[in-house]
Amino acid sequence: MVLPIQNQYEQLCNAAALQQMGISVVSKVTEEFSNRLEEWLHTANVRKLTDITDTENLLNIIMKYAGRKNSPTQPVYESF
């Protein structure tokens, strides 16, 4: 679960990318937040991001797509 800092463009971009990867995103803390957090703690699947935390592997993925003239047919994160 992520809670991006409001009015921070990079935070919002990161949250959008993480959401596409299946990560739960909370826009703001409301009265329902504690219930949602509790539910998430007990039921959410843990998403391991080992592929992108391994610097050498991440660099290889970036280099794989760097030489393409067109965008990849699928987002890079889907290859993790």
Distance separating alpha carbons of residues 61 and 63, to the nearest angstrom: 5
Say yes or no: 40 and 64 in one domain.
no
- In the chain, the number of structural domains is 2
Say yes or no: 19 and 6 in one domain.
yes
* DSSP secondary structure letters along 29-62: --TTHHHHHHHHHHHPPP---HHHHSHHHHHHHH
Say yes or no: 32 and 66 in one domain.
no
2-30 pLDDT, tens digit each: 999 989 999 999 899 888 877 889 988 99
pTM of the predicted protein model: 0.55
Say yes or no: 26 and 61 in one domain.
no
What's the domain range around 71? 48-80
